[in-house]
Amino acid sequence: MNDNFKDLREKMVKVQLISRGINDKKVLKAFLEIPREEFVPDNLKKYAYEDGPLSIGFGQTISQPYMVAAMTELLNLNSDEILLEIGAGSGYQAAIASKLCKYVYTIERIKELAEYARNNLERLGIDNVKVIVGDGSKGYPENAPYDKILYTAATPYIGDIIFDQLKDNGAIVAPIGDRFAQKLTKYVKTKNKIKEYSYFSCIFVPLIGEYGYK
């Protein structure tokens, strides 16, 4: 880890996360341990700890640190759980989750970004994440069911094809809405019934795929 960014990382956790109500100590610890600058292009490293998303190419972004933290806290990951992430991006969200759960499967539609995420994770020695190239809107039935599922791209809805890949008592966190505005939403599956909880408004890049946006 580049110690040149240590102070910025600590300030980001205090100012952007704790002051906005992120209080899960395991989540905060993960944000202190994972170097965000390793998941952004070289020319943007100096902006890695600013309070906003950054471009990672191909029309995609690495999300604002607070948004990553809020979604992670809502997931309430446990050390024995398997997470399916839909939208690998640069691998940052998967890296954070890797500190909190047993294993992460993350799917990325864009082959070049999947390779970028894979390289970033390998460089940091993170070995409990598998990056898959494919249509994330279909999930990843090969290793289903999952304890938790996380969408890191906006989707108009969650289809049965995804709910069927979720374990009983499992949860999904996703930005739900149209291409221009979404609501962060959590779904909890209990005895094959789904409860929905809505949180705050957000804006994510759209999930392109058979069960996403066309």
Which residues form the catalytic set? 63
Cβ atoms < 10 Å from Cβ of 134: 16
The kind and range of the H/E element at 129 are: strand 129-133
Nearest to 83 by CA among 62, 64, 73, 98: 98
The answer to whether the beta carbons of residues 74 and 173 sit under 8 Å apart is yes
CB-CB neighbours of 2 under 10 Å: 11
Whether residue 80 contacts residue 102, with contact meaning beta carbons closer than 8 Å, is answered with yes
